[in-house]
Amino acid sequence: MKYLKYSIYLVSTFAGLVTPAFAEIGSELEDFFNTNIEPQMQLCSACHIPNGLADIEGGDGFLLYSDRTHYQSFFDAWTLLGEGVHNNPLLVMNSDPTLNHTGFQNWPTTSAIYENVARLLTCWDTPDLCSITPPPHSADLAISIAGNDGENNDGVIRYTITVTNSGPGTADSLEIGHHLPVLVTLSEVTPSSIAFTSDDDEVTFYLDALPKGSSQTIGVAVNTDTTNNTKMIFTSTVSAITEDTNPENNTSTEYFGGGIVNTEADLSISMTGHNGKNEDGVINYTITVRNAGPDTADSLVISHKLPARVELSTVKPSTVEYTSDGDLIIFNLDSLDKGTSQSINITVKTATDNKDKMNFTASVIAETQDPNLANNSSEEKFGGSINWLIIALLGLIYVERALTRVKATSYRAHGL
């Protein structure tokens, strides 16, 4: 039955059986539609098309056909859905969130788009009451970008985009274009209810309406390289279908990024060996790490290589963490403040008759950048024995005295 009514209506319309008032304003109505309603139908054209998601019972009453304009499809649907104004599903289904409409409820009853659709339907339904000139409707939109600290924090930069409306009316169908610099990628948008699209470095946010005196803040997080210390340009622009009385404040540009603080600590290492000698198979010595600053050194690693003929015996203080793997010992220090040092006392064992001086090496690195690596290694010789040295010296003295006696005896024998 509804299709029969639709056909009769079209026949009577195209036969010219319409009121003179409606005929006179036909083209103006289409212009009005194209200017004030058509821009709000991008979401409609995603589902309300032949073979689309809405082409089912309950949704096929409103379809946008490719062989006619959206204005014509809108008119066809209005007719098919029973005409009228405030009871026609074209208007009601898009404004009443309690109804079973799975699409966006993007025509609030207080919005300009709702008023414009109602005015269009009134012109179709009661041409004598048609007024295609909408009431004065304007808004002063402004946009700003602010970044908490706006700095690169482990590869993440966070900031906010805020849109405000100073009135005098509600702003409808806002689009916020946001341009990202090439060194970042979009990571997060809050609140999650904000609709947006992203195409490489161009992000577009969508707001249905923004009443006079209100604002909307959008939180944005972008990712970048953890070492990126560049200040980068971020730009946002806001627009709406509502006339904006002051477009000069519709764009905002800010610089975010950088802020990476590179700390430095000049570490040095040395080894001293109390006596450093083999005493009954024991050698004692000390490794000392110093930090000349200017900052605290973090996560220090001290590598200590033992010669082949010794083995680790003790490490003091016992609070120093270390691991031992054969002849390699690794000490770990959490941090070392500027101007302080850490000494590690080490005892190794060797054979009691080991008379050799042996090479001991140590080096230090840290997570903190070190501006002077020349003093990060140390090599010393420990071992041998002072007892052996004394015996050797006494032996030399004995030999020298014996030679002296032999010479003296020889001289006397020859009468010299």
Non-local CB neighbours of 17 within 8 Å, separated by 6+ positions: none
Record the tokens describing residue 35, joined without a space.
């200017």
Identify whether 403 is part of a domain: no
Identify whether 397 is part of a domain: no
Same domain, 347 and 363: yes
What's the structural domain count of the chain?
Answer: 3
Q: Which domain holds residue 154?
A: 138-257
Same domain, 6 and 59: yes
Residue 313, pLDDT > 90, answer yes
DSSP letter at 375 equals G
Burial class, 335, CB count within 10 angstroms (exposed 0-12 / middle 13-18 / buried 19+): middle
Same domain, 49 and 147: no
Identify whether 37 is part of a domain: yes
Helix (H) or strand (E) holding 36: helix 26-36
CB 348 within 8 A of CB 356: no
- The last residue of a domain, from among 211, 235, 257: 257
Identify whether 151 is part of a domain: yes
Same domain, 273 and 379: yes
Rounded CA-CA distance 108/116 in Å is 12
Question: What is the distance of C-alpha 303 from the center of its chain?
Answer: 36
Identify whether 407 is part of a domain: no
φ and ψ of 289, to 5 deg: -110, 135
Q: What's the whole-number mean pLDDT along residues 4-11?
A: 35
Identify whether 409 is part of a domain: no
Query: What is the b/e burial string over 298-324, where b = at least 16 CB atoms within 10 angstroms of the residue's CB?
Result: eebebebebbeebebeebeeeebeeee
Q: What is the pTM of this model?
A: 0.45
114: left (phi over 0), alpha (psi -120 to 50) or beta: alpha
CA atoms within 13 A on the CB side of 249: 14
Record the tokens describing residue 339, joined without a space.
């101007």
Interval 49-82: pLDDT, tens: 898 888 788 778 888 898 999 999 999 989 999 9
- Please report which confidence band the pLDDT of residue 351 belongs to, taking 50, 70 and 90 as the band edges: very high
DSSP letter string, 51-67: TSTT-STTTTTS---TT
Q: What's the whole-number mean pLDDT along residues 177-198?
A: 95
> 19 or 295, which is more confident?
295
Closest CA to 193 of 175, 206, 179, 204: 206
Same domain, 269 and 317: yes
Interval 89-108: pLDDT, tens: 888 888 887 877 776 666 78
Same domain, 123 and 143: no
